[in-house]
Structure 1
Amino acid sequence: MIYGTPDDRNFSKMISFINKRGFFVVFGKGDNLIQPVHVEDVAGAIAAVIEKPATFGKTYEIPGRAPLKYKEMLEIVKSKLGRQFRIYYLPIGISRIAVKLYSRLVPSSSLKPDMIDRMEIDKAYSYENASEDFGYEPMPFETGIEKFIKHLEKN
């Protein structure tokens, strides 16, 4: 999950939703692992790979610094936003039914049933090869999300 631009479809939407409504709904327990990566880290990795011919033809994982549970990530967002909001956890089974019904009632909705399935999948990756081959060291999520929130507040 790449974040750091206002049109990233994930964090910008999440933060906008939280700011407008004062709450956020998590499908499931929020124990799934995610490893968001800031767009500057991705751009830096691309630039570094281009400059190192030894990397040509190789494939690299370019994740964020460390895996976080989804609920841990939300707590970090909460602290960096500097405002309180409620987090509601909706059981997976109920979430599937609710989203399926909602997506039928509101076909233009960005909520889709497959999003629920993805909430049960861990998305944690090693960047050891990237670190060794071209010095990839992504910023901590706390740093990146704070930078992103400040950017959103300015614009």
Structure 2
Amino acid sequence: MDAENTSSPSPSGLTSPILVLGATSLIGEHLLTRLNALGTTPISLSRRPPSDDICWVDGDLADPNLADELPPVATVFSLSPIWLLPQALPALKARGMVRLVAFSSTSRFTKQDSPDASERAVAKSLADAEAAVEAFCAAHGVAWTILRPTLIYLEGRDGNVSRLAGLIRRFKVLPLSGQGEGLRQPVHADDLAGGAIAAAQAPAARDKAYDLVGGETLTYRVMAERIYAGLGRRPAILPLPAWLFRLLLTLAKPFYPGATATMGDRMAQNLTFDDSSARADFGWAPRDFRPRF
């Protein structure tokens, strides 16, 4: 059943009603704050919505009856893992979706040739989901934009930069595999929230995918030094031979869940991308990497 055509321009220039999927993610809080500041009232979907907030809907992207749980929608921001999105697209379209901005990840490219099978599986899931989203939207007249961030951070909450900060607090010294010369482009969650809104507003961003990077390209070691600075500490970085770092990582697994040997190997790899098309099409202008904890 198709939703009635109840869409209309909002003060922000976005087409309302607006639905946010994955609003409890790192980007979600900042996206909701920015949308409310623009004079919009977005609806958020969650399996565990706040009980006292009428702007949240109790629902699951995997629910075959999802369309029955949703209000009418026009613009959808998807912050959930993109591989969960294709199965929900028919329900979103049935409720009126005409514009979709969905987050994927540059891991689609950086992990596709990883020696770790689980990482290769993640890369394939990302690529397959992107293709499914593009195909569905093209077939059903939905304008889409896919955003692929690099290393996302949000002080105290992410599993990358903030995890390193936690290790520094606990052990004082941060070991590196080799000299940590691989290049990184960490990007703040709030910048991604602003970028998503800008992309949704920009006609040039329709039916395109973008790699979104932070405001600086810096080595893994310099990134670590900036984390020390954000903690108000003097850097204490210990370069180790790759074999010794792998051994240390194995011993540290109880304190560092999810650690793999490939994490050390990647410290020497350049994981960089070009964001020039995003800067040209919707004014992408992220901050430099200066975290504060």
Name the TM-score class by shorter chain. Answer: 0.7 to 0.9
The change in CA–CA distance for 1:80 and 1:99 in structure 2 (over 3 A counts) is closer
- For these two proteins, the number of residue pairs brought into alignment is 143
Give the secondary-structure state (helix, strand or coil) at the position aligned to 1:59: strand
Is 2:201 aligned against 1:51? yes
Alpha-carbon distance in 2 for matches of 1:49, 1:64: 16
Alpha-carbon distance in 2 for matches of 1:133, 1:43: 16
RMSD, aligned CA: 2.1
Q: What is aligned with 2:227?
A: 77
Render the CA deviation track for 1:8-36: whole Å, top value 9, x for unaligned.
11121111221122111112211110010
The change in CA–CA distance for 1:132 and 1:29 in structure 2 (over 3 A counts) is same
Equivalent residue letter for 1:115: M
Is 2:209 aligned against 1:88? no
Equivalent residue letter for 1:83: R
Equivalent residue letter for 1:109: P
Return the match for 2:284 from 123, 130, 136.
Answer: 136
- 1:79, CA displacement in angstroms? 2.4
- 1:85, CA displacement in angstroms? 4.5
Q: Which has the higher contact order (CA 8 A, sep 6+)?
A: 1
Contact 1:96 1:116 in 2 (8 A): yes
The TM-score normalised by the length of structure 2 is 0.45
Q: Which moved more, 1:115-124 or 1:56-65?
A: 115-124
Q: What is aligned with 1:117?
A: 265
The change in CA–CA distance for 1:65 and 1:85 in structure 2 (over 3 A counts) is closer
Alpha-carbon distance in 1 for matches of 2:231, 2:252: 29
- 1:5, CA displacement in angstroms? 4.8
Give the secondary-structure state (helix, strand or coil) at the position aligned to 1:99: helix
Q: Which has the larger radius of gyration?
A: 2
Is 2:186 aligned against 1:36? yes
Contact 1:5 1:39 in 2 (8 A): no
Give the secondary-structure state (helix, strand or coil) at the position aligned to 1:89: strand
The change in CA–CA distance for 1:99 and 1:83 in structure 2 (over 3 A counts) is closer
Which residues of structure 1 form unaligned runs of 5+?
A: 150-155
Render the CA deviation track for 1:22-64: whole Å, top value 9, x for unaligned.
1111122111100100001111111111111321111111000
Which has more helix, going by share of residues?
Answer: 1
- The percent of aligned pairs where both chains have the same amino acid is 31
